[in-house]
Amino acid sequence: MLVVVDNIAMISAGHNLQLRFFPESQTANMLGDGNFILTGQLSVLQMQALTPTNDSSTSIDFRSVPVFDRDNKPTPRMAFIFRNSQVAWRQAVAFSWAKDATGLRTVSIQESAQAWRFTVGHQTGQITW
C-alpha cells in the first residue's frame, strides 16, 4: 500500500494544474465506488482517489497523452490526469497492488482542518497540516 499526498499552494489563481500518473497497464476498469483496477504483467493495481469530500474542484481523467522521448518524438501513453485550478490544492491517492484482485486493500480517510487520517485494516497513518 502506498498513499501519495499532494499539498500545492500557488501564489495566484488562474493556473490549470495537472498531476499525472502513467501506469504500466494501458487499460483501466472503473469500479462503482470510483476506484480503478489495472492489470499489469505481474500484478493487479488498484488506484483509489481520496480527494476530500468538500473538494469539487478536482477532476480525474484516464486518457491518452503524448510522452516525449530523448529525441523529442511523441509516443501516446494512457495516464491518470488530476486537474485543479484552485490556489490551494490538497489531494491524496492510494495505490494497492497484489498478485490478484483478492489481495487488494482499501483505504479510508478521515478529514479535519488540521490533519488527514488514513486507515487500512488495523493500521493508521496521519498527515498533519
Residue 120 lies in a domain: no
Determine, yes or no, domain membership for 89.
yes
Distance CA 38, CA 127 (A): 27
Asked, for residue 50, whether it belongs to a domain, the answer is yes
Domain extent, residue 84, equals: 2-102
Q: How many domains does the chain have?
A: 1
The per-residue pLDDT of the chain, averaged, comes to 90
Q: Record the pTM.
A: 0.84
Q: What mean pLDDT is predicted for residues 48-67? A: 82
CA distance 21 to 38: 13
Is residue 78 situated within a structural domain? yes
Amino acid identity, residue 75? Answer: T
Nearest to 62 by CA among 96, 29, 90, 84: 29
Within a domain: residue 122?
no
pLDDT at 93: 93
- pLDDT of 82 over the 70 cut: yes
Sign for the CA dihedral angle at 53, 57, 63, 68 comes to negative
State the DSSP code for 129. -
Q: What is the pLDDT of residues 3-47, one digit of tens each?
A: 999 999 988 877 888 999 999 999 999 887 778 999 999 999 999
For residue 42, tell me if it sits in a domain.
yes
| Residue 83 placed within a domain | yes
User: Per the domain annotation, does 126 fall within a domain?
Assistant: no
Number of other CB atoms surrounding residue 69 within 10 Å: 8
**Pair 116, 55: CB distance under 8 Å:** no
Where do we find the cell 486537474?
83
